[in-house]
Homo-oligomer: A and B are copies of this chain.
Amino acid sequence: MLELSKNGKRYSLKSSTAMPKASGFLWNKNMMIQVTCRGYAIAQFMQPEPSKYTYQPMVEGKIFMLPEQPFFSHSPGRFFYIKDEETGELFSVPYEPCRVDAQDFEFSVGKGDLRWTVKHLGLEIRLELSIPTADVVELWLLEVVNTSGRARKISVYPYIPFGFMSWMNQSAQYRQDLGGVVGSCVTPYQKLEDYYKNKDLKDKTFFLHDRTPDAWEACRDTFEGEGGIHRPTGTQQEMLNCGDALYETPAGVLQYRLQLDAGQQEKFRFLLGPAFDDAEIMATRDKYFADEEFAGSRKAYAEYVESFRGVISIDTPDKHFDNFVNEWLPRQVFYHGDVNRLSTDPQTRNYLQDSMGMSYISPEVTKKAFLWALAQQEESGAMPDGILLREDAELKYINQIPHTDHCVWLPVCLRAYLNETNDFEFLQTEVKDWKGDRVLTVFERISAAMRWLQMDRDERGLNYIAQGDWNDPMNMVGYKGKGVSGWLSVATSYGLQLWADVCEQVGDLVSASQFRQGAEEINQAVNEHIWDGDWYGRGITDDGVLFGSAKDAEGRIFLNPQSWALMAGTPSAEQAQKLLNAVDEQLNTPYGVMMLAPAYTAMRDDVGRVTQKHPGAAENGSIYNHAAAFYAWGLYCVGDAERAYDVVRKMIAGPDEGDLLQRGHIPVSIPNYYRGAYHQFPRTAGRSSQLFNTGTVSWVYRSIIEGLFGLQGCSNGLLVKPNLPAHWPTAHVLRDFRGASFDVKYTRTGEVTALQITVDNKRLAGSVIQSIERGKVYKVVVRLPL
């Protein structure tokens, strides 16, 4: 039995059996943690590269987060065993590792904390995790209430398996002086130079308590013994052994023996995190245990949470949609803009798109990010494959692979910032090369980037793809230097048009005309070489083969070229209808729109890595939400309100939250994908990747603001051009914009035959609300024909 309920800003999942893998996540400037309702946790922090403080069994790849992360019995978790000392019964909270079905189980995901309430054997166990706004430390609250109506004797054992910390040196001890178990290791290295890289790493893991335990253990094997993780030998003894781990697998285990009167309640606080040395552990302890029930930290985090508010608050017939857009979507947008997915070298396209989302939350961040990125522009005008966030960072693996699309994100993402802020002065800001003396304005740099993009085309006028474009794993289409990208070509066209608009707005009419003409040429070239009869192909390989084409048995149609062609105005009306039909027929599913279909089931070595990914997962035929978001944006660009809403709604949830939960997801985020290959592998289709790192969210937010509700900034005010789905009779939106507030009521009515807008009861001529005054509240009524 699975049940999801919502209470204010919280979701609650109730379960008696069949535990799902749903999870919530938290982050701050320096860390993030994802915890499943079962108790498994993936935590990461920066120093400056991504690091762990609870470890997987073996050496982990820490570079990127995994979709559909598999768990194992000894995957890192936060486990709390409860033992009835009179009967010997044992269970664990949240659920792992004992997996005992509790009488009541509740997992509650807030914006600033995760909570569990488990009722079992006449006890109520409340567990809560929060984190502070900056320090890397987990703040755990545990409450145990005797609800049985009689006196009880129990033992409570918090158990944090530290995992296999290092093959070089690992140990753990209970530290009376620090008040908890401290694991230590040396990050393995062999080369001398790696010593200098590693020597300042936080190689300690601490698990501290605010109440002295009756016993403890620091060695996993001693604690678990033959009983195993699901019934540790340590819990079968009267007292833990109080031992240490000496090059044995470290763990933090405490034992509290409690005698509880009927109704008695006991509270415990714990701190878990990494540290460099004892002094740091001591400082953390003093700081957080001085804070009663972590109240100060929780308040500060709540304030931080409030800073994630977006620019719209909506009230529509779709309450689930409202809740997600009002509460959770801006939070996920902020997450991306705030921490850049915990990387020191985000891919340029991700960095710019994540920053685009901040236009709606904290435009100063968008501005800074553009300046930071543009300072790393190459002399040719090209943008590098990744943006280094620190002087000592370096472009790693994926960013050493030449991709050709990075420039296109500059005008595309900047447009959202300009729409929102009208900050054209920004274009005149001077940017100095971060490792050189060349100084150019933002406008000059982006113009150079667009010229580079225009130049980086073949004799047909199509953009080269090199070892990949937006779709990373498409790495064998053009590695010989000839292959071209259909998608990038239309994206370039779209970018050139957007930039031509900006050139016009700043009065550079010559450039505007050049760019516009360039876009026109590309559209023609694409229609000549890439149009496949009923949709656009994905590209042409080094050997001149059009792929993503009707003649292909797999990878017959790709979503991205269709989406961006719509943005770029490439297709004629007839072509547009054909491609929309093709997407409906071949890519749309009850769970969303697939990125390509049919998914590749075998290697195709003129396409590359995408064909090696598992069909229906990751990019190979999944419902890759980032691509779906572009499709929604493209649909809004051409005013296709119904299709666009269908795409966005499916991305946010299935038919309802319950359906989404069945697919492994709590609707507090959009995952990077849902499993696709809907016709090929129906058993797994729709399943959530549970990975919340995705370029999707800034585009969804923009699509909802500018597309769905049509509340888009322009140089002279707020353009009102809604695309509400026909089945919504009304909608109500509060929109913050350029210092003013817009209270917008939409009504679909037979009284009008065309869009009719009144502002403060006055009929608006045209569709732009002009001369906006800061601080003013505008009452806007939008009447739509039936």
Contact = CB atoms under 8 A, between A and B. Distances in A.
A167 interface: yes
B609 A681 contact: no
A192 B467 contact: yes
A608 interface: yes
A75 B57 contact: yes
A530 to B, nearest CB: 23
A190 interface: yes
Contacts of A467: 192
Interface stretch (A22-30, A168-176, A405-413, A630-638): A168-176
Interface string A372-406: 00000000000000000000000001101100000
Contacts of A168: 609, 612-614, 618
A189 interface: yes
Interface in A572-615: 608-609, 612-615
B613 A681 contact: no
Interface in A612-634: 612-618
A99 interface: yes
A58 B65 CA distance: 12
Given A169-B612, A476-B195, A72 B57 contact: yes
A56 interface: yes
Given A66-B167, A72-B73, 9 more contacts: A58-B59, A70-B248, A73-B228, A168-B609, A168-B614, A186-B613, A191-B400, A230-B230, A247-B684
Contacts of A59: 58-61
Contact of A190 (B57, B68, B609, B684): B609
A476 B170 CA distance: 21
A72 B70 contact: no
Nearest to A198: B612
A190 B402 CA distance: 11
Nearest to A61: B59
A614 B99 contact: no
B683 A616 contact: no
A74 interface: yes
A609 B398 CA distance: 31
B247 A612 contact: no
A74 B684 CA distance: 24
B192 A613 contact: no
A615 B479 CA distance: 51
A586 B75 CA distance: 42
Contacts of A67: 167
Contacts of A134: none
Interface string A454-493: 0000000000000100001101100100000000000000
Contacts of A230: 228, 230
Interface in A282-331: none
Interface string A216-235: 00000000001111100000
One complex includes copies of this chain to the number of 2
A397 B191 CA distance: 7
Nearest to A220: B70
A19 interface: yes
A397 B189 CA distance: 9
B190 A246 contact: no
A192 B57 contact: no
Nearest to A612: B186
A366 interface: no
A515 B180 CA distance: 61
Contacts of A401: 190-192
Nearest to A203: B612
Interface string A40-74: 00000000000000001111110000111010111
A324 B23 CA distance: 55
A335 interface: no
Contacts of A690: none
Nearest to A68: B247
A68 B401 CA distance: 39
A577 to B, nearest CB: 35
A239 B385 CA distance: 52
A276 B75 CA distance: 30
A249 interface: yes
A164 interface: yes
B246 A189 contact: no
Given A613-B169, A616-B246, A608 B58 contact: no
Contact of A189 (B57, B73, B609, B615): B609
Contacts of A60: 58-59
Contacts of A683: 246
A434 to B, nearest CB: 26
18 contacts: A18-B226, A57-B58, A57-B74, A58-B59, A58-B60, A59-B59, A59-B60, A66-B167, A72-B72, A73-B73, A97-B228, A169-B612, A186-B613, A190-B473, A228-B230, A230-B230, A247-B616, A248-B684
Contacts of A247: 68, 614, 616-617, 675, 684
A137 B230 CA distance: 33
Nearest to A18: B226
A169 B17 CA distance: 31
Given A60-B58, A614-B246, A683-B246, A195 B608 contact: yes
Contacts of A608: 192, 195
Given A57-B70, A70-B249, A247-B684, A190 B397 contact: yes
Among A19, A169, A190, max chain B CB count under 10 A is at A190
The 7 A-B pairs with the shortest beta carbon distances in the complex, nearest first, are: A73-B73, A72-B74, A247-B614, A56-B58, A169-B614, A247-B617, A59-B61
A635 to B, nearest CB: 29
A401 B191 CA distance: 6
A485 to B, nearest CB: 16
Contacts of A476: 192, 195
A195 B70 contact: no
Contacts of A19: 226
A201 to B, nearest CB: 12
B398 A170 contact: no
A108 B191 CA distance: 41
A246 B618 CA distance: 12
Contacts of A164: 70, 72
A19 B401 CA distance: 50
A664 to B, nearest CB: 12
Nearest to A677: B246
A61 B62 CA distance: 13
Interface in A682-722: 683-684
A681 B219 CA distance: 15
Given A57-B58, A58-B61, A170-B614, A246 B192 contact: no
A761 to B, nearest CB: 57
A94 to B, nearest CB: 14
